[in-house]
Amino acid sequence: MLPYYHSYTNDMEVDLAFERPDNLELALDALKTRAFRVIAGGTDVFPAVQQGQLPSAFLDVTRIAGLGGITRGDGTTRIGAATTWTDIVRAELPAAFDGLKEAAREVGSVQIQNAGTIAGNLCNASPAADGVPPLLALDARVEIASAARGTRVLALSQFIQGVRKTTLAEDELVTAVLIPDQALGTRSAFEKLGSRRYLVISICMTAANILLDAQGRIAQARVAVGSCSAVAQRLPALEADLLGKRLQDVTVSTAHLSPLSPIDDVRGSGTYRLDAAQEQCKRAILRAGAV
Amino acid sequence: MAASAHQLRIDLTVNGTVHGIDIDPRTTLLDLLRETLDLTGTKKGCNHGQCGACTVHVNGKRVLACLTLAALCDGADVRTIEGVGTPEKLHPLQDAFIAHDGFQCGYCTSGQIMSALAALEEPWGPDDAAIKEAMSGNICRCGAYPNIVAAVQEVRKSAEGGRNA
Amino acid sequence: MNVNSTVIGKPISRVDGRLKTTGAARYAADHRPVEGRPLHAVLVKSSIASGRITGFDLSALQSMSGFVRFVSHLDGALIRTIKNPVDGAFAAGEEYTPFENDRVHFVGQHIGLVVAQTLEVAEAAAKAVVVDYETSAARIEFADPTAEVRQPDLYNTGEELQVSRGHVEAGLVEAVEIVKATYTTPIEHHNPIEPSATLAVWDGDHLTIYDATQGSVNDKNYVAFGMSVDPKNVRVLNPFIGGGFGCKGFTWPHTLIAAAAARAVEQPVLLVLSRKDMYTSCGHRPYTEQEVTLAADADGVLTATRHRTQSYRSLVGDHVEPCGMTTAMLYQCDNLEVTHSVRVLNRPSGTPLRSPGEAPGTFALESAMDELAEKLGMDPVDLRRRNHTDIDQRNGRKWSSKHLLECYDRGAEKIGWGRRKAPGQWRDGNDLVGLGMATACYPGYRMPTQTRLTLDRDGTLHVGVAVQDIGTGLYTVLAQMVAERFGTSPENVRVLIGDSDLPPGPLAGGSMTTASVAAAVDDGCRALSEKLRARLVDMGHTPGNEPLVIDGGALRSGPLSVPAAEVIPTDVHEIVAEGGSDDTYGFTGGVETDKSFYSFGAIFAEVRIDRDFGIIRVPKMTGVFDVGRVINAKTARSQMLGGMTFGIGMALMEETFIDDKTGRFVNPSLGEYYVPVNADVNEFDVEMLDIPDYDFNPFGARGLGEISNVGASAAIANAVYNATGIRVRHLPIRLDDLLEDLPR
- Asked if residue B3 belongs to a domain, the reply is no
3-state secondary structure C309-346: EEEEECCCCCCCCCCCHHHHHCCCCCCEEEEEEEEECC
Q: Is the pLDDT of residue A11 over 50?
A: no
Residue C475 contacts B, CB cutoff 8 Å: no
CA–CA gap between residue A5 and residue A24 (Å, rounded): 12
Q: What is the mean pLDDT of residues A201-227?
A: 97
Query: Which of these three, A160, A180, A200, is where a domain ends?
Result: A180
Pairwise CB contact (< 8 Å): A109 & B52: yes
Query: Which of these three, C515, C549, C581, is where a domain ends?
Result: C581
Residue C239 contacts B, CB cutoff 8 Å: no
Query: Do B72 and B128 share a domain, yes or no?
Result: no
Task: Tell me what pLDDT residue A3 has.
Answer: 29
- Asked if residue A2 belongs to a domain, the reply is no
Q: Which residues from C are below 8 Å from A18, CB to CB?
A: none
Q: How far is C139 from chain B (nearest CA, A)?
A: 30
Taking alpha carbons only, the member of C359, C239, C266 closest to residue C309 is: C359
CATH of the domain at B99: 1.10.150.120
Query: Do A26 and A51 share a domain, yes or no?
Result: yes
CA–CA gap between residue C615 and residue C608 (Å, rounded): 8
- Asked if residue A101 belongs to a domain, the reply is yes
- Asked if residue C195 belongs to a domain, the reply is no
Q: Which residues from B are below 8 Å from C275, CB to CB?
A: 45-48, 50
Identity of the amino acid at C82: I
- Asked if residue B77 belongs to a domain, the reply is yes
Query: Do A164 and A192 share a domain, yes or no?
Result: no
Query: Do C566 and C611 share a domain, yes or no?
Result: no
Burial (0-12, 13-18, 19+ Cβ within 10 Å), C348: buried
Task: Tell me what pLDDT residue A2 has.
Answer: 31
- Asked if residue B165 belongs to a domain, the reply is no
Residue A197, phi then psi, degrees to nearest 5: -70, -40
Q: How far is C302 from chain B (nearest CA, A)?
A: 36
pLDDT digits (tens, 9 = 90+) for B43-76: 999 999 999 999 999 999 999 999 999 988 999 9
The parent domain of residue A151 ranges over 70-180
CB burial string B122-145: b at 16+ within 10 A, e below: bebeeebebbbbbbbbbbbbbbbb
Query: Do C552 and C608 share a domain, yes or no?
Result: no
Q: Rg of chain A's alpha carbons, rounded to an integer?
A: 20
Size of interface B-C (CB pairs under 8 A): 202
CA–CA gap between residue C705 and residue C468 (Å, rounded): 14
Pairwise CB contact (< 8 Å): B104 & C639: yes
DSSP string of C197-250, one letter each residue? EEEEEEETTEEEEEE--S-HHHHHHHHHHHHT--GGGEEEE-S-----TTTTTS
Query: Do C494 and C568 share a domain, yes or no?
Result: yes
- Asked if residue A256 belongs to a domain, the reply is yes
- Asked if residue C325 belongs to a domain, the reply is no
CA–CA gap between residue B64 and residue B49 (Å, rounded): 6
- Asked if residue C701 belongs to a domain, the reply is yes
Residue C667 contacts B, CB cutoff 8 Å: no
- Asked if residue A1 belongs to a domain, the reply is no
Taking alpha carbons only, the member of C667, C657, C677 closest to residue C276 is: C667
DSSP A211: E
**Which residue in chain C has the smallest CA separation from B38?**
C30
- Contact by Cβ (8 Å): C577, C452: yes
Domain count, chain A: 3
Between these two residues, C37 and A16, which has the higher pLDDT value? C37
Task: Tell me what pLDDT residue C743 has.
Answer: 78
Query: Do C454 and C540 share a domain, yes or no?
Result: yes
* Helix C712-724 / helix C633-652 crossing angle, nearest 10 deg: 50
Pairwise CB contact (< 8 Å): A18 & B49: no
CATH of the domain at A113: 3.30.465.10
- Asked if residue C296 belongs to a domain, the reply is no
Nearest-by-Cβ selection for A115 from B5, B67, B136? B67
- Contact by Cβ (8 Å): C599, C707: yes
Q: Is the pLDDT of residue A4 over 50?
A: no
Q: Which residues contact A74 (CB under 8 A, 6 or more apart)?
A: none
Strand duo C39-45 + C110-116: pairing: antiparallel
Query: Do B75 and B125 share a domain, yes or no?
Result: no
Residue C275 contacts B, CB cutoff 8 Å: yes
**Which residue in chain C has the smallest CA separation from A273?**
C736
Query: Which of these three, A180, A213, A246, is where a domain ends?
Result: A180
Query: Do A251 and A272 share a domain, yes or no?
Result: yes
- Asked if residue C106 belongs to a domain, the reply is no
Strand partners for B17: B14
Q: How far is A13 from chain C (nearest CA, A)?
A: 6
Specify whether the backbone of C283 is left (phi greater than 0), alpha (psi in -120 to 50) or beta: left
Query: Do B74 and B98 share a domain, yes or no?
Result: no
- Contact by Cβ (8 Å): A151, A143: yes
Query: Do A75 and A51 share a domain, yes or no?
Result: no
Q: How far is C708 from chain B (nearest CA, A)?
A: 12
Q: Which residues from A are below 8 Å from B136, CB to CB?
A: 109, 197-199
Pairwise CB contact (< 8 Å): C471 & B106: yes
Query: Do C544 and C630 share a domain, yes or no?
Result: no
CA–CA gap between residue B6 and residue B3 (Å, rounded): 9
The parent domain of residue B72 ranges over 8-83
Q: Which residues contact C26 (CB under 8 A, 6 or more apart)?
A: B40, C239, C240
Q: Which residues from B are below 8 Å from C195, CB to CB?
A: 44-45
Size of interface A-B (CB pairs under 8 A): 102
Q: What is the mean pLDDT of residues A93-109?
A: 97
Q: Which residues from B are below 8 Å from A16, CB to CB?
A: 25-26
Query: Do A49 and A85 share a domain, yes or no?
Result: no
The parent domain of residue C471 ranges over 446-581
End-to-end CA distance of chain C: 60
pLDDT, mean over chain A: 91
Helix (H, G, I), strand (E, B) or coil at A182: coil
- Asked if residue B2 belongs to a domain, the reply is no
- Asked if residue B20 belongs to a domain, the reply is yes
**Which residue in chain B has the smallest CA separation from C274?**
B46
Taking alpha carbons only, the member of C289, C224, C231, C268 closest to residue C79 is: C224
Task: Tell me what pLDDT residue A187 has.
Answer: 97
Q: Which residues from C are below 8 Å from A14, CB to CB?
A: 124
CA–CA gap between residue C183 and residue C181 (Å, rounded): 7
Query: Which of these three, C521, C554, C581, is where a domain ends?
Result: C581
Pairwise CB contact (< 8 Å): A199 & C677: yes
Q: Which residues contact C645 (CB under 8 A, 6 or more apart)?
A: B143, B145, C676, C681
Query: Which of these three, C528, C552, C581, is where a domain ends?
Result: C581
Query: Do A152 and A200 share a domain, yes or no?
Result: no
Taking alpha carbons only, the member of A255, A200, A110 closest to residue B55 is: A110
Identity of the amino acid at C454: T
- Asked if residue C611 belongs to a domain, the reply is yes
- Angle at C267 (CA atoms; ends C263, C268), nearest 5 degrees: 95
Nearest-by-Cβ selection for A13 from C124, C655, C739? C124
Q: What is the dihedral of CA B11, B14, B18, B23, to 10 degrees?
A: -30
Q: Which residues from B are below 8 Å from A6, CB to CB?
A: 8-9, 71, 74
Pairwise CB contact (< 8 Å): C667 & A266: yes
- Asked if residue B1 belongs to a domain, the reply is no
This model's pTM is above 0.90: yes
Q: How far is A225 from chain B (nearest CA, A)?
A: 24
- Asked if residue C374 belongs to a domain, the reply is yes
Residue C150, phi then psi, degrees to nearest 5: -120, 150
Query: Do B51 and B108 share a domain, yes or no?
Result: no
Query: Do A15 and A90 share a domain, yes or no?
Result: no
Query: Do B70 and B101 share a domain, yes or no?
Result: no
CA–CA gap between residue C140 and residue C119 (Å, rounded): 33
Q: Which residues from A are below 8 Å from C65, CB to CB?
A: 12-13
CA–CA gap between residue C291 and residue C286 (Å, rounded): 16
Q: Which partners does chain B have (≥3 C-beta pairs < 8 Å)?
A: A, C
Quote the percentage of chain A above a pLDDT of 90: 81
What confidence tier does A219 reach under pLDDT thresholds 50, 70, 90?
very high
Task: Tell me what pLDDT residue C88 has.
Answer: 64
Domain count, chain C: 2
Residue A107 contacts C, CB cutoff 8 Å: no
- Asked if residue C194 belongs to a domain, the reply is no
ipTM summary value: 0.97
Q: Which partners does chain A have (≥3 C-beta pairs < 8 Å)?
A: B, C
User: Testing the interface with A: which of C123, C613, C618 to mutate, by most A Cβ within 10 A?
Assistant: C613
Burial (0-12, 13-18, 19+ Cβ within 10 Å), C565: middle
Strand duo C398-399 + C493-496: pairing: unpaired
CA–CA gap between residue C376 and residue C384 (Å, rounded): 13
- What's the farthest any 2 CA atoms get from each other in chain B? 59
CATH of the domain at C502: 3.30.365.10
Instruction: Please state whether the peptide bond connecting residue C732 to the residue before it is cis, i.e. omega within 30 degrees of 0.
Output: yes
Query: Do B113 and B64 share a domain, yes or no?
Result: no
CA–CA gap between residue A268 and residue A204 (Å, rounded): 9
Nearest-by-Cβ selection for C612 from A50, A196, A279? A279
Query: Do B77 and B97 share a domain, yes or no?
Result: no
Secondary-structure percent of chain B, ordered helix, strand, coil, rounded to 5: 40, 15, 45
Pairwise CB contact (< 8 Å): A203 & C671: no
Pairwise CB contact (< 8 Å): A196 & C65: no
DSSP string of C81-126, one letter each residue? --S-GGGGTS-BSSSS-TTSSSEE-STT-EEEEEEESSHHHHHHHH
- Contact by Cβ (8 Å): C724, C742: yes
Q: Which residues from A are below 8 Å from B6, CB to CB?
A: 8-10, 12
Query: Which of these three, B83, B117, B142, is where a domain ends?
Result: B83
Residue A115 contacts B, CB cutoff 8 Å: yes
Q: Is the pLDDT of residue B6 over 90?
A: no
Residue ranges in chain C modelled with pLDDT below 50: 1-4
Query: Which of these three, B50, B83, B116, is where a domain ends?
Result: B83
Task: Tell me what pLDDT residue A54 has.
Answer: 60
Pairwise CB contact (< 8 Å): B87 & C18: yes
Q: Which residues contact C538 (CB under 8 A, 6 or more apart)?
A: none
Q: What is the mean pLDDT of residues B126-133?
A: 97
Query: Do C674 and C708 share a domain, yes or no?
Result: yes
CA–CA gap between residue C189 and residue C280 (Å, rounded): 10
* Catalytic positions of C: 706
Query: Do C508 and C495 share a domain, yes or no?
Result: yes
- Angle at C573 (CA atoms; ends C570, C574), nearest 5 degrees: 130
Q: What is the mean pLDDT of residues A67-93?
A: 96
Query: Which of these three, B83, B118, B143, is where a domain ends?
Result: B83
Task: Tell me what pLDDT residue A12 has.
Answer: 40
Quote the percentage of chain A above a pLDDT of 70: 90
Task: Tell me what pLDDT residue C1 has.
Answer: 42
Domain count, chain B: 2
